[in-house]
Amino acid sequence: MNGNGVQNGSNRSKKYISNDEYIEKKIDRLSIYDTYWCLFMLRSQHKIPQSYILKDDAGSKLSIISILKDHSCTKKDIDRFLQTSARNSIPLSYVKWFYEDARAALWMHMALKKLNIISDPIGIESDIAIFVHDVIFNRKFAIGEEELCEVPDTYYERWIINKKKGLDVLKNIYLRSSVEPKETKWLDYDNDIQINHLYAYMQKLHDIDNLKANKESKNHNKKSISNKDKTGHRQALIFADTIRFRETDTASRLHHMLASLDYWEGIAVDEGKVNNRSTFIDNMYEAWLSKAKRDRDKNMKEKGLVLTSANKKTLSLIAKRQGKTRAQMLNDIIASYNQTFFSEVPKTTRAAGTYITGDYGKPYTDTFETQQSLKAKQASSETILVDSDSEETKDINHQIESLESVPNIKDSNEDKSEEPNVELESISSEPLSSDNVTKPSCESKKVNPHESGFESTKRRSILKSKLTPTARVTGSGPIKIG
């Protein structure tokens, strides 16, 4: 109110807010979790007809607003109702460990199913959320004689206290029985193939009670002992008959596997069961490594050689003309190349290794001449080869001494105009005698008995070309020497 006694508009609007607007404003501020506790309170006050609170996140607030408006609740009634609902509810901190964790929720499902408190099946991810909702707002259980048990359908504060205690007991058991994170750190949460393979592995029958002892016995005997008697063998996947997830829902399958390992042989886990569980996790890891290796080998076998698109088309065309498949044609090409390739490779071990490894930058000498080198030498018209003697160890001095019997070359007394022109390329105009032969570089060398036939032949060819006159005839008629 101002100095003239007139109320401000803002104060007047706050003072005269309607009850319906007040209800909407208060309920809209509630979280989804607190909204369901308001429905829980309305049910206990018999203001809603249904006894089962459905999980309906989108319509739960609208339902409460509608009920409160129908009962013409005042602002004070709304405030009192919300205070009572908060006092007779279980705080989120008591249920957060399974309310926001699908793995823990599935573990709780296993524990309550074992106690015959619940029996609902789970097949999809949304079923887990519905189960969690039912445990908090619809199921009535509390601590009985040393175990959890179902309680009568009553709604009062004592029942809320008992339910808090029951959830605390389950929480403590879950934390004690959970698998250590380091034991399953090798799991790849994004690998669908790994998850599905291990899910199927856990569905097989295993000797759960003797896993560690059997592995120790196997390691001691160094061989596998097959036991066809499956008596007492069980699945490691808990309640696989009522908890079934599709192959495409790998996230839920992973939660199911981890929850089964957490639960293992019941909600009370002793040391022997913990050891068997650790052994089973090791076996899971080994099974996955074997699967991964098989897949790698299969992929390598199927992938084979990678050809370009152009080469694939060319190979297809060649194969079609030959009436063969591409694989057959490729094998034939390689087989044909092998015959030519290995026929040209030097025969000695060192030379073959040099040729195959591609060490062509270093010149090498070997006792074997390739076909190309022989053809090149035979094609040369300027090289005169002298047949080698059968005895490669003959002294080259013997060839030099045999040349002493060759008569000297002198000019003829006949008319030179009537003689054909003779050009001497390898000898001088002076008479050739043994004294004029340059022998030091040759006389001291003998044929190496270990050198190749070609090198021996080459050496004799060079020597002979120096000692034997090579004449090119430019005219006709006899040539007189001596």
Taking every pair of Cα atoms in the chain, the longest distance, rounded to a whole number of angstroms, is 166
If pLDDT is split at 50, 70 and 90, which confidence band does 158 have?
confident
Residue 15 is predicted with a pLDDT of: 60
Residue 404 is encoded by which pair of tokens? 């002493």
Which of helix, strand or coil describes residue 312? helix
What's the chain's length in residues? Answer: 482
Provide the 8-state DSSP code for 122.
Answer: B
For the ranges 54-68, 306-320, 337-351, 378-392, the lowest mean pLDDT is seen at 378-392
Say whether pLDDT at 117 is over 80: yes
pLDDT in tens, 200-250: 999 999 998 888 888 887 776 655 555 566 777 889 999 999 999 999 999
Residue 289 is encoded by which pair of tokens? 């490594």
H-state helical runs in 326-468: 326-344, 349-356, 371-379, 397-402, 440-443, 453-467
Q: What number is the average pLDDT over the span 424-431?
A: 42
Using CA atoms, how far apart are residues 108 and 206, in angstroms rounded to an integer?
24
Left if phi > 0, otherwise alpha if psi is -120 to 50, otherwise beta: which for 32?
alpha
For the ranges 51-55, 95-99, 226-230, 321-325, the lowest mean pLDDT is seen at 226-230
Residue 210 is predicted with a pLDDT of: 87
Say whether pLDDT at 354 is over 60: no
Best-predicted range by mean pLDDT among 75-79, 348-352, 433-437? Answer: 75-79
Who has greater pLDDT, 461 or 134? Answer: 134
User: Could you tell me where the beta strands, DSSP code E, fall in 130-185?
Assistant: 141-143, 148-150
Residues with Cβ < 8 Å from 442, sequence gap 6 or more?
396, 400, 463
The mean pLDDT value of the chain amounts to 75
| Closest CA relative to residue 60, chosen from 68, 362, 411 | 68
Give the CA distances from residue 124 to residues 75, 140, 255, 286, 437, in Å, rounded to whole numbers and listed in that order: 42, 24, 12, 29, 107
- Determine which helix (DSSP H) or strand (DSSP E) holds 292, and give its type and residue range: helix 271-303
Residues with Cβ < 8 Å from 385, sequence gap 6 or more?
457, 461
Say whether pLDDT at 111 is over 80: yes
pLDDT in tens, 397-406: 555 555 544 4
Residue 187 is predicted with a pLDDT of: 95
Say whether pLDDT at 189 is over 60: yes
Using CA atoms, how far apart are residues 438 and 441, in angstroms rounded to an integer?
7
Say whether pLDDT at 67 is over 60: yes
Could you please report the per-residue DSSP string of 235-282? ESSTTTTTB---TT-HHHHHHHHHHHHHHTT-SS--HHHHHHHHHHHH
Residue 69 is encoded by which pair of tokens? 């408006």
If pLDDT is split at 50, 70 and 90, which confidence band does 141 have?
confident
Contact predicate 235/82, CB 8 Å: no
Distance of CA 421 to the CA centre of its chain: 86
pLDDT in tens, 254-265: 999 999 999 987
Q: Are strands 234-235 and 148-150 parallel, antiparallel or unpaired?
A: unpaired
